[in-house]
Amino acid sequence: MAKKNTYSYQPKDGEQVAKASGHDLKISPKHSVEICRTIRNMYLEDAKAFLEDVIAKKTVVPFKRHNKKVGHRSDLKGWPSGRYPVKAATEILKVIENAEANAEDQELDLENLKLVHVCANRGVVIRGWTPRAFGRASPSNTPTTHIQVVLGEA
């Protein structure tokens, strides 16, 4: 069995952090990478407000790496292409709220919390097949994503 409680972020000596992670979430790894890059180093309340606006389709997530055939958005400043990844934003918001609950349990200052580390990694691919005509089949695979969130006091 694989060890799942390892984080790619190691806190410095004496640094108080709260961690949370989501494993094998059925969301797009590419969308998750773009969201995590956008909210990294944000304050907790700003990141939560940003994700809630993305879910309500009020704010655009700029797609800087995975931007082939991604439409341009007029309300996006400084970068042309972006999307509204609602499903990925919902799952990442759940992980961030879990990390906030862990920080509250560790008695950290909730008004002064910052997302010190947020990352998304590809998980296992759930293999599937779709039947086609003449006895053939096409693969229909579902990608999964691992999310890590570490909150620290700014």
Over the stretch 6-21, which tens digit does the pLDDT of each residue have?
Answer: 788 988 888 899 999 9
CATH of 17-153, one of 3.90.470.10, 3.40.640.10, 3.90.870.40, 3.30.450.20: 3.90.470.10
Which pLDDT belongs to residue 8? 86
What is the pLDDT, as a whole number, of residue 14? Answer: 86
Q: What is the pLDDT of residue 102?
A: 96
Q: What is the DSSP string of the chain?
A: -------S--PPTT--EEEEEEEEESS-HHHHHHHHHHHTT-BHHHHHHHHHHHHTT-SPEE-SSS-TTPPB-TT-SS-SBEE--HHHHHHHHHHHHHHHHHHHHTT--GGGEEEEEEEEEEEEEE--EEE-GGG-EEE--EEEEEEEEEEEE-
- Which residue ranges in the chain fall short of pLDDT 70? 1-5
pLDDT of residue 2: 63
